[in-house]
Structure 1
Amino acid sequence: MDVQKMSYLAVLLLVLALCMSQPLIANAGKFVVHVENGLKNDILQAHCKSGDDDLGLQYISVNKEFQWSFGINFWQSTLFFCNMSWVGGQRTFDVFWVNNIFFRKYCPHYDCLWRAQEDGIYLFNYESSEYEFQYKWEPRQI
């Protein structure tokens, strides 16, 4: 095969690869994760991280939120997790991951809305326009 044909083949393969990854590339804008304190009387502590970023320990007052924005990495493997705690319990869980179903249902407008309440942790479902229960609090580790 001559060099010109190999160049055309390489360009064709690149275009095909880009077309196949299009659903995730469409979500390549800036995402914002919101962590809201929906507790009645207590401060929520949230310590959120990814493989690259440690957002530090946040103290979130009642009816306030902590938020941060970011883009999806080149490998489309961006993952953020948080440890949330209050006097009634604690929980560590993923708050953002690259998945088209997660995007469509929970972050279609590039906003992912988490809320801590006394009975557990909720994630806003844009399809139903309601917060959905996701996680039960675990006993605090002292």
Structure 2
Amino acid sequence: MVLSNSLIECTEEAFVDILNYVGTDAIFVHCRSKDTDLGMTQIDPGEDYMFKFMPNFFGSTSFWCEFIWKSLTQDFNVWRGEDYLDRMPCSVTGSCAYKVSPEGFYWSSTLLAADDEGWTFWKNWES
């Protein structure tokens, strides 16, 4: 019975959505996992970039992204499976949304509008 429940959990799709709210500039994002490289993507102002995936049965799926805006960069895990003790809080629900702003990065476990309450500050840009 436990195996059956685990299989059901692993058939649920997860997603990461990245929203560009830095102002009038595009941001560039390069996301990848151990097995999948999604390549470099340009996200124009006010637009978003979403990717979906099936977490693996073992709970070891991990996606990280490099973000580039002007001369600033940041690189961090945007989604981690249940095998990781330091997994993202939003990974627990399967969905992670990020709002990229001039001051840094916010996350949410549900997709929100940029001006909605419910975003949690996550990281600053590195210089």
TM-score between both structures, scaled by the size of structure 2: 0.80
Equivalenced residue count is: 119
The CA distance in 2 between the partners of 1:69 and 1:112, in whole Å, is 10
The CA distance in 2 between the partners of 1:23 and 1:74, in whole Å, is 8
Helix, strand or coil for the counterpart of 1:26? helix
Are 1:37 and 1:116, in contact at CA under 8 Å, matched by a contact in 2?
A: yes
Q: Identify the residue that residue 22 of structure 2 maps to in structure 1.
A: 39
> CA offset at residue 89 of structure 1?
1.2
Higher radius of gyration, 1 or 2 = 1
The alignment status of 1:117 with 2:101, answered yes or no, reads yes
Q: Deviations over 1:37-63 (max 9, x none)?
A: 011111110000000000000000011
Helix, strand or coil for the counterpart of 1:35? strand
> CA offset at residue 133 of structure 1?
0.7
> CA offset at residue 109 of structure 1?
5.7
Q: Deviations over 1:44-98 (max 9, x none)?
A: 1000000000000000001101111101112210000000010151100000001
Q: Identify the residue that residue 9 of structure 1 maps to in structure 2.
A: none
Q: Identify the residue that residue 125 of structure 2 maps to in structure 1.
A: 137
Are 1:125 and 1:132, in contact at CA under 8 Å, matched by a contact in 2?
A: no
TM-score between both structures, scaled by the size of structure 1: 0.72
Identity %: 25
The CA distance in 1 between the partners of 2:50 and 2:101, in whole Å, is 17
Q: Would you tell me which structure has more helix in proportion to its own residues?
A: 1
Q: Which amino acid aligns with 2:50?
A: Q
